[in-house]
Amino acid sequence: MVDPAVVEIVRQYLRNIAGQGILPGMGVIFGSYASGHPGRWSDIDLLVVSPTFDGAHSRDAINCLWRVGARTDSRIEPIPCGQRQWVEDAATSIIEITRREGIQVLPDDSA
């Protein structure tokens, strides 16, 4: 189980990137926080699923993920993923791992 404080940090991050024009469908926590075994120096591995990242997207959008992450909580390590890519991609290992082991978080409290 993911620490509720980390889930709230991720929700706040998703709201913050929405405020910058990147509308997230969800975030998916994976890695040590998802497995319930974070270490003292663990980062928050986060797949950011958004239609912004389907097809060609600008480097500015990716930079925005990192900039907002640093301002929200410096442990956030965002990885962009398109919404279609999340559903259709069968070749990218990080997406496969995240589907199996990740914890989905919506920008609001409904998850």
pLDDT of residue 111: 47
Alpha-carbon distance of 58 to 76, in angstroms, equals: 20
Question: What are 34-92's pLDDT values in tens digits?
Answer: 999 999 999 999 999 999 999 888 899 999 999 999 999 999 999 999 999 999 999 99
- Residue 59 in tokens: 């480097």
Burial grade of 85 (CB within 10 A; 0-12, 13-18, 19 or more):
middle
For the whole model, what pTM was predicted?
0.93
Alpha-carbon distance of 54 to 81, in angstroms, equals: 7
